[in-house]
Amino acid sequence: MELLRNISQQPTNSNRMYEPNQPGSCELRRKRTEDHGHAPAEMSKIITDPATGKCYCRGKVLGKGGFAKCYEMTDLSTSKVYAAKIIPHTRVSKPHQREKIDREIELHRVLHHKHIVHFYHHFEDKDNIYILLEYCSRRSLAHILKARKVLTEPEVRYYLRQIVSGLKYLHEQEILHRDLKLGNFFVSETMELKVGDFGLAAKLEPAGNRRKTICGTPNYLSPEVLNKQGHGCESDVWALGCVMYTMLLGRPPFETTNLKETYRCIREARYSLPSSLSPQAKQLISSLLAKTPEDRPHLDHILRHDFFSQGFVPERLPASCCHSAPEFHVSSPAKSFFKKAAAALFGGKRDKVKYYETLNKLTKEEEEIYKLRHDLKKTVISQQQQNKQMTEVRKGLPPTTRDTIRLIVRGSLGSCSSSSECLEDSTTGSVAETITSVLRGCLENMPKGEPNCSNLQWVTKWVDYSNKYGFGYQLSDHIVGVLFNNGTHMSLLADKKTVHYYAELGQCSVFSTSDVPEHFVGQVTVLKYFAHYMEENLMDGGDLVSQPDTHMPRLYLLQWLKSDRALMMLFNDGTFQVNFYHDHTKIILCTQREEYMLTYINEERVSSTFRLSSLLTSGCPADLRQRMEYSLNMLLQRLEP
């Protein structure tokens, strides 16, 4: 809401503006004249709704806008506090001014969403119009940023996730906000963000019928709005990019000392991305601030970006974040032990003695785990050195797949479990060789052309924390697995009560989360943490679901590999999955009833499943074929001697 921001606290050039000779410019000139003239009559402290007889007590000023002021206002019968937007009739005496207020009321009153400032009631008396809105005691993000200067990336993820949620709701109602900025994002007592100020909001019109009025806040205007092409959903997305940039760096991306230069920078989409930003943050900002509207991501795609999927998103922020940077810790009743155990099991040195003193003595299994971790470390380093030397792929593949792929190879489990669905000789190498042979055979014999679903198990969420502990993932049947840096694997079944532990494939230990062997406490703590993190912070990757399996999990990770473009995962039963970062598409190849099935999940997270035998006769779309070729390329690099 326009009046909840304090104009004097906004950055340079950040006040809402209207282009000269457009509707609205006279209001700002008139306001300045009135402000320098005689003061209006003092408003009463007690305000009565003529229609209901309810009495309200007017409190302190919360903010000012072009037409109005916003006050705290308390219902004297219930003690409920509102943010009241109070507009003098003298400020909206002309028909088009009154129409603007009526339009704002009509748009806002029907909105009901947890991340939209709630509209409660409106009334008027002989002097003023009163709009009663949800009271946000932490004020706005503009106030928070003024105190903090910059925000941390986890905080920005937290706020952006809520802004996108509210904005998506608005766009679904075919409403454009048209003035997204820090001063219009309000923060409740519980640190929940609410999108407000619908003074410039408008119904979405077809491209040809859009009003060409240049309205909004100078630093947040999009190129198409400046060029009088009208305001669409993409213009709100552009403003979102400006908001993200401002939160991370403390200044808008196009701010200059000269308004004409600011507009020139906006039209050219010319701004700087400091090295202090993470690569994921830079990538997301660049996509949001794409010069061409069609090149900006849809709201549905924003939260699937690596900036969110590969970074910590807090569930809640403490109120102290309003004035000081937060400290994020792992929330666990066994936090102190967790740190010692994790450090000892996964690479720490100084805490190792303390950990084993806690356990009193080393068991044989602990010795084996330690040796395995040590051996794995040498193996991974050796594999990485080999992969760095690879500069081209095998001959015979199409030119589109000849990009240099730098693989990071992780995982060491190497033989099959007792599951009847496993391959006969399911070492990591044999799984990769089998999949390579099948995939290459399909591609070499498949015609070009355009060509449905089993209870498929696949990875819906994943998190790479291998710099400390390992690689975590969640399957479509809600089993959570972790392939630890020491080469061991744990699965937490869908019942959240049963753990399966593999020191080696074919050697499975089963125990309850309520009765964890002492020497597994550290790893189980990590497993639970991964499960909680993915459940709370990551979105599912597609529309396929599987029935939860509370018995022996048939699928667990043997090895994962990363390139610049994709993540590849190999599983014990021969399932092979590749996730592509840039568009979040996925390929899953698996055997079902002794037949190979290939599932493709597209950018819209919609899945299609094909028999490999049918692809050999019918062919497949070009985008799928391209991804199959890249996946084969990754496998070939994995097998390169």
Sheet holding 459-465, edge to edge: 459-465, 470-475, 480-484, 489-492, 498-504, 507-512
Count CB-CB contacts under 10 A for residue 379. Answer: 15
Cα radius of gyration (the chain): 29
Residue 195 DSSP one-character state: E
Cα pseudo-dihedral 33, 37, 39, 40, rounded to 10: -60
Other CB atoms closer than 10 Å to residue 375's CB: what's the count?
A: 13
**Residue at 538: amino acid letter:** L
Q: Which residue has the tokens 């994962």?
A: 560
Catalytic residue among 75, 179, 425, 573: 179
DSSP character string of 93-132: -SHHHHHHHHHHHHHHHT---TTBPPEEEEEE-SSEEEEE
Number of CB atoms found within 10 A of residue 565's CB:
15
Residue 166: φ, ψ to 5°: -65, -40
Angstrom CA distances, 188 to 33, 110, 169, 319, 425, stand at: 35, 20, 19, 10, 58
Q: CB neighbours (10 Å) of residue 114?
A: 13
Residue 554 token pair:
């048939």
d(CA 492, CA 550): 9
Is residue 340 exposed (0-12), middle (13-18) or buried (19+ Cβ within 10 Å)?
A: buried
Taking the C-alpha atoms of residue 246 and residue 382, their distance in angstroms, rounded to an integer, is 43
Distance CA 567, CA 23 (A): 52
C-alpha atoms less than 13 angstroms from C-alpha of 330 in its C-beta half-sphere: 18
Task: Give exposure, 162-178, as e/b (b: 16+ Cβ within 10 Å).
Answer: bbbbbbbbbbeeebbbb
9 φ, ψ to 5°?
-100, 0
Tell me, yes or no, if 179 is annotated catalytic.
yes
192, 178, 216: which is closest to 141 by C-alpha?
192
Contact (Cβ atoms closer than 8 angstroms) between residue 481 and residue 328: no
> Does 60 count as an annotated binding residue?
no
DSSP letter at 92? Answer: G
Q: Which residue is associated with the tokens 């809401």?
A: 1
Amino acid letter, residue 221: L
Taking Cα atoms as reference points, which of 262, 616, 599, 602 lies closest to residue 454? 599
Catalytic residues: 179
Annotated binding residues, written as ranges, equal: 85
Annotated binding residues for ATP, written as ranges, equal: 85
